[in-house]
Amino acid sequence: MTHAPVEHAEQAPVELVIFDCDGVLVDSERICVRVDAQVFAALGCHFTEEEIIETFVGSSGEIYDAAVEQRLGRPLEPGWHRAYEHLYQEAFDTELTAIDGVAETLEALGLPFCLASNGGHATIRRNLTTTGLHHHFEGRIFSASDVARGKPAPDLFLHAARTMGVAAERCAVVEDSAYGVTAARAAGMRAFGYAGGLTAPHKLAGPGTVVFEDMRELPGLLAGRPVS
């Protein structure tokens, strides 16, 4: 596929790479879409697989709940999701794997990196531990629960950059969802849209964004080397 160039006339060198978790480090989105469909059926509302991918992949908890409430036509009870957490846990315990090529990519990166996810800290830790990636990010994990607004707001990425001591324009964000690349652009950071998962490449494309499909390409792309 064609890799869109990042649209900066003169780019500052990348000093920090901020990774999303679900769909970028761990191959969880496919599992979540399937379990989401089960949960929505139990709640009495229906979303097509396309709608689930479009509306829920990479979303914040607030966006998730609002979309379900709108489809149901009524408010959800506080803590409603707890009754369904075991479905995700059971599926993750037996099926969750790391994204193909991501472990070797982290080893080859040669740049400081951290993680910033809309997921909660417990979920992030579980997913990284299950896939053997936790040691790469220990002490450098940021959650939407740390800030006022999750993605697509820029708050989480800006918080991660400030904590890591790097200016926004020197950060690169690796995301697999439209919410994530929107947040990266809003934060003034370069976005690298990983299209090897569920989100169509055109949903990730846009200003200041490189779209790619193989995680092994990332080190070269960050260094400005085009990949055919």
Q: pLDDT, tens digit, for every residue of 143-198?
A: 999 999 999 999 999 999 999 999 999 999 999 999 999 999 999 999 999 999 98
Query: pTM of the entire structure?
Result: 0.89
What is the predicted pLDDT for the residue at 11? 76
Q: What DSSP designation does 54 have? A: H
Q: Is 4 left (phi over 0), alpha (psi -120 to 50) or beta?
A: beta
- In order of their start, the domains of the chain are 16-27+96-222 (3.40.50.1000), 29-95 (1.10.150)
Q: Is the backbone peptide bond immediately before 112 cis, with ω within 30 degrees of 0?
A: no
Query: Which tokens sit at 150?
Result: 């999750």
Catalytic residues: 20
* Interatomic CA distance for residues 115 and 184, integer angstroms: 13
Residue spans of beta strands (DSSP E) within 71-170: 113-117, 141-143
Residue 7 has pLDDT above 80, yes or no: no
- If you count DSSP H runs as helices and E runs as strands, how many of each does the chain have, helices first? 11, 6
Residue whose entry in the numeric block shows the structure tokens 């740390």: 146
**pLDDT of 211 strictly over 60:** yes
209: tokens are 């964004």
For the segment 51-96, what is each residue's pLDDT rounded down to a tens digit?
999 898 888 888 899 999 999 999 999 999 999 999 999 999 999 9
What's the confidence (pLDDT) of residue 224?
84
